[in-house]
Structure 1
């Protein structure tokens, strides 16, 4: 069935019945199957069909009113002759208030275990990047043995090709009134940057790999991205899949769509931002979301629940919806990223070879 097209009635009915068979009652106590059968009795004019529905409804109501019955084997420490004869069903005080499983929220919030497996695989394509600042062609040091470094996150966008933020490579702070790095310093900072994959544990002291001469391939300050050539020493690192369509979300729409951010906040081992991770706003120019990040998270992939990259994370700002509340508290800040389609559009117009390399690299990826 094509996305966006409704299921035919027979398949829709089968899907609804499957849902009702899996969810005995909602948190309100209502039983979806009983509601369905009652509606069918009221709406049908066929006497034979009414009889079938009434018989089914009586069985559902009998199950609804019956106490929960378990066997002694189901409860640790229960005696075989507890309350009834050995081997027979029995009811304990602890279970008298227990009902069938309930779907707590309006929508099913569970995810297939494949979500975790795919997330682990995606983590292997994300790296920490460390930039050594240069001033007028010279590496900068805080003291004789302490280089001035800044951290960011990046990820594989095509075989042998990494992406991070322009401002990560720029390594300057507008907060302190610093201007942008010169063209030569920017290039030197890309070439002397160290990249480190699989940084998951604090006690992992392995050093990163220097990118080397010619590392900087393309960059754009407005879209805040920089493309970097990755050394062959990293072996085969599969690129992350890219979303071809933006995540669209208007401010007047309720929160629902979620995103996940694989990141190295503050240069620490990789963390995953995926709680309270709602999209606030999504259009052609920006994706705004509530997923937690920190300094060093810049350049992270912002992924949908299928682990396709929807945006390149670059920072935070005041929240777009001034009345937005989460868990009863007013939200003041949102994180933002550049939608991937915008970056691809820019590359197609200005760096055709790199755009083709990315498109070709995406072609063989499995969903």
Structure 2
């Protein structure tokens, strides 16, 4: 499977973040035309029939500038996405991770840097408080790096199989999974970025306010204003349709003299890398991951 990047040149993060923060509602207008076309195509606009960028912007106004209402299913979709998120415990640290197929979990390389660490680590799903501040449904799984383990330090991601007893269903049969789609155009600057996470190893928390995408830095990273803490590493980063847009990586979006946000690794970049290392005949679990990812 070959995945080809088709990304424009990006301006410095400090300039982009400052512009988006000053006028988030219209920030999308200054995005590179290829990204706007990708977003428009995902939202049902026949971009082949749009000859100019000015016409494209007029067509996008009806999508981006729609009334700020969310459908009732938004809460159900968010609940389903959150169910696939787990707290990761290694021998020395805590982090977050999430199922991207029924059997594969994604987190950061700096959370699970090697197979030996993964082999002694656990993933706990539904580690969250109920109305009585109890966690009756929390279930802990081991990890199985011998079955599948792929990692990359530069992109700061790890994919690892979740252990399951013989004959037992894959964890995703219970908790669902979050599709890691290869395509770009899922979000434009100034739009909301939602993160489900286990900050400081606490019970599951969701950041859905004060959460704008501040900058598409380059073909690999995004910077956003959504709150995170240590322990949030490895969390899924969603757009407002609960589509996965990035893997939360760390703080570090710097404008002159101040920290402006947190940074995530774009899912499209991770999928390209997995496709490259998996080769023409990937193993069963990576083949499933790439089939779900699709093509741009």
TM over 0.5: yes
- Residue 109 of structure 1 corresponds to 68
Partner deviation per Cα, 1:277-300 (whole Å, 9 max, x = no partner): 101111312111000000100000
- Residue 335 of structure 1 corresponds to 262
Which has the higher Rg, Structure 1 or Structure 2? 1
Unaligned runs of 5+ in 2: 1-43, 51-57
Task: Tell me how far 1:306 sits from its aligned partner.
Answer: 1.1
Aligned length: 223
Q: Does 1:196 align with 2:124?
A: yes
Partner deviation per Cα, 1:231-252 (whole Å, 9 max, x = no partner): 2353614221234115565xxx
Partner deviation per Cα, 1:172-202 (whole Å, 9 max, x = no partner): xxxxxxxxxxxxxx32210111111111115
- Residue 120 of structure 1 corresponds to 79
Paired residues for 1:198-347 under 5 Å: 198-201=126-129, 202-204=133-135, 206=138, 208-212=140-144, 214=146, 217-232=149-164, 234=171, 236=173, 237-243=175-181, 244-246=183-185, 256-282=190-216, 283-320=218-255, 322=256, 332-347=259-274
TM-score (norm 1): 0.55
Aligned-residue Cα RMSD (Å) equals 2.7
Task: Provide the C-alpha distance between the structure 2 equivalents of 1:155 and 1:118, rounded to a whole number of angstroms.
Answer: 15
**1:332 to 1:212, Cα distance in 2 relative to 1, 3 A:** closer
Task: Provide the C-alpha distance between the structure 2 equivalents of 1:304 and 1:3, rounded to a whole number of angstroms.
Answer: 22
**1:306 to 1:338, Cα distance in 2 relative to 1, 3 A:** same
Task: Tell me how far 1:3 sits from its aligned partner.
Answer: 5.0
Match of 1:157 among 89, 92, 100: 100
**1:150 to 1:110, Cα distance in 2 relative to 1, 3 A:** same
Whether the 8 Å CA contact 1:191–1:216 is kept in 2: the answer is no
TM-score (norm 2): 0.68
**1:345 to 1:316, Cα distance in 2 relative to 1, 3 A:** same
Whether the 8 Å CA contact 1:273–1:292 is kept in 2: the answer is yes
- Residue 129 of structure 1 corresponds to 88
